């Protein structure tokens, strides 16, 4: 077992699997591991969201729903505990026990799974999004076959790597967008959904219904693979899990590896980048050391935006309305929630690109195209913190819930929330094509 401090060094030194360098996208059908519903009944009390959006309170709630809820192995330790390898070993032992007791079972034959999400949007309109769940053969980002759009951080990758070592079980898919201008892949998926009987369906705690169909027809699979083999995919959600899978594969150099080894693949839910996608923002909470520090930040941020854009005091309803839509091609909006007021801050994208230094390369193009997280973290926040003399950055936390971001400010006079608008698929594709990665938590799907 590596010491925590050795993981980064080990990733560079480990054997590099040749298939990681291949220049074509490769996907396959797979035999899923599922809950044994003959023993457990329905799925509703067994599922949970991806690990990185589950709050400590939610983790306890999901754990209390059922002794076999996925969080017992997905998040095997409390958020407030120090890193404890025993928690990962405990998760591994739990996984093995669940297999021995037929709680988890393999469900042959190898298949791919057309996938539909159904939900109501913020206006109450019915929304359906389709995709397909496959296994992707891993590729280095340098091949441009699989492309990231967000930066990753050390701690989550270490956490997921230690869990993967202990359990050898992949518990959730990455979410990625494929590029298929022909529309053939979508037609295949829609046809499979229309012609086949639904295999599984479950509604989660957010009211989203997840439905799966099953396809193992060789001719159908061959057409899907050939349609997408010259395409590339953009990771929308799951960068840490994807990179962890590569790190884990590199650790297996002493095993008898070939192209069919499970560690060479990662489960992926794929959707067309041109399709209807719901991209949500992740809002920022800045926690300052004192009220005075927070007041200085608020005043400095306001001055900067008045100089380069506009500042308007608004109410809560207007705040939520102003962040609902993505970049309009002209103006970038930020909403700053302070203890005693809410401000709408507007700045032209071209103005942002002019504010940055000359040595930023393609980051300027991202600013020119209104990528708000780049503007906030790489331009505005550094300028404001320097101006108001804050030597160390405030503690930063995240939430996808705008109401929770507002409530956090009401409960702590040293906190400011920055509410963001969602990024667009065009902005994500631009970042991928430029080979640029956005700050962490730029999107939420």
The DSSP result for 184-209, as a single string, is HHHHHHHHHHHHS---EEEE-TTS-E
CA distance 25 to 52: 27
pLDDT digits (tens, 9 = 90+) for 346-366: 999 999 999 987 778 899 999
Structure confidence at residue 155 (pLDDT): 93
With bands split at pLDDT 50, 70 and 90, how would you rate the model's confidence at 228? very high
Structure confidence at residue 201 (pLDDT): 97
Structure confidence at residue 14 (pLDDT): 55
CATH class held by domain 283-434: alpha beta
CB atoms within 10 A of CB 328: 12
pLDDT digits (tens, 9 = 90+) for 179-194: 998 999 999 999 999 9
Where exactly does CATH 3.30.1760 map onto the chain?
Answer: 283-434
User: 89-122 burial, b for 16+ CB within 10 Å, e for fewer?
Assistant: bbbbebbeebeeeebbbeeeeebbbbbbbbbeee
CA distance 421 to 254: 47
Structure confidence at residue 121 (pLDDT): 83
With bands split at pLDDT 50, 70 and 90, how would you rate the model's confidence at 326? confident
CA distance 383 to 378: 9
Checking DSSP bridges between strand 415-420 and strand 283-287, what pairing results, if any?
A: antiparallel
Q: Give 34-62 as a DSSP string.
A: EE-HHHH--STTT----GGG--HHHHHHH
What lies within 8 Å, CB to CB, of 256 at 6+ separation is none
346: burial class by Cβ within 10 Å (0-12, 13-18, 19+)? middle
Structure confidence at residue 84 (pLDDT): 57
Confidence check: pLDDT of 246 > 80: yes
Per DSSP, the chain holds a count of helices (H) and strands (E) of 17, 17
Helix, strand or coil, per DSSP, at residue 28? strand
Sheet containing strand 415-420, strands side by side: 309-314, 341-348, 331-338, 415-420, 283-287, 395-399
Reported as type and span, the H/E element at residue 133 is: strand 126-137
Place of tokens 């010491």: 3
Structure confidence at residue 124 (pLDDT): 85
Q: Which of 290, 299, 305, 300 is nearest to 384 (CA)?
A: 300
83: Cα within 13 Å, side-chain hemisphere: 12
């Amino acid at each position: 077992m590596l010491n925590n401090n050795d993981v980064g060094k080990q990733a560079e030194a480990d054997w590099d699997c040749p298939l990681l360098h291949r220049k074509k996208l490769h996907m396959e059908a797979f035999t899923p591991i599922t809950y044994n519903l003959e023993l457990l009944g329905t799925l509703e009390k067994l599922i949970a969201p991806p690990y990185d959006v589950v709050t400590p309170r939610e983790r306890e709630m999901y754990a209390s729903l059922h002794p076999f809820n996925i969080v017992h192995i997905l998040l095997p330790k409390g958020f407030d505990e120090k890193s404890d390898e025993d928690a990962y070993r405990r998760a591994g032992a739990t996984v093995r026990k669940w297999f021995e007791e037929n709680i988890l079972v393999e469900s042959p034959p190898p298949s791919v799974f057309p996938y539909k999400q159904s939900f109501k949007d913020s206006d109450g309109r019915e929304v359906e999004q389709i995709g397909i769940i496959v296994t992707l053969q891993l590729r280095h980002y340098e091949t441009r076959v699989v492309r990231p759009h967000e930066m990753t951080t050390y701690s989550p990758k270490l956490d997921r790597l230690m869990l993967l070592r202990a359990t050898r079980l992949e518990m959730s898919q990455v979410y990625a967008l494929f590029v298929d201008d022909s529309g053939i892949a979508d037609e295949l998926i829609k046809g499979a959904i229309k012609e086949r009987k639904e295999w599984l369906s479950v509604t989660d705690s957010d009211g989203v219904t997840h439905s799966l169909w099953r396809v193992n027809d060789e001719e159908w699979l061959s057409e899907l693979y050939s349609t997408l083999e010259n395409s590339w995919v953009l990771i929308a959600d799951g960068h840490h899990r994807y990179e962890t899978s590569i790190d884990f594969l590199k650790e297996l150099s002493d095993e008898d590896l070939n192209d069919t080894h499970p560690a060479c693949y990662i489960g992926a839910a794929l959707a067309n980048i041109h399709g209807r996608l719901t991209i949500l923002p992740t809002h920022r909470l800045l926690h300052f050391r004192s009220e005075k520090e927070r007041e200085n930040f608020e005043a400095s941020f306001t001055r900067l935006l008045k100089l380069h854009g506009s500042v308007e005091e608004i109410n809560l309803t207007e705040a939520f309305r102003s962040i609902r839509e993505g970049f309009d091609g002209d103006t970038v909006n930020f909403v700053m929630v302070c203890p005693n007021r809410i401000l709408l801050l507007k700045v032209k994208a071209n103005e942002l690109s002019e504010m940055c230094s000359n040595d930023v390369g393609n980051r300027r193009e991202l600013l020119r195209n209104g990528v708000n997280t780049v503007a906030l973290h790489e331009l505005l926040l550094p300028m404001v913190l320097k101006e108001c003399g804050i030597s160390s950055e405030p503690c930063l936390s995240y939430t996808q819930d705008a109401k929770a971001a507002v409530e956090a400010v009401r409960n702590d006079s040293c906190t400011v929330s920055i509410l963001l608008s969602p990024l667009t698929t065009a902005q994500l594709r631009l970042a991928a094509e430029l080979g640029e990665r956005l700050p962490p938590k730029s999107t939420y799907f």
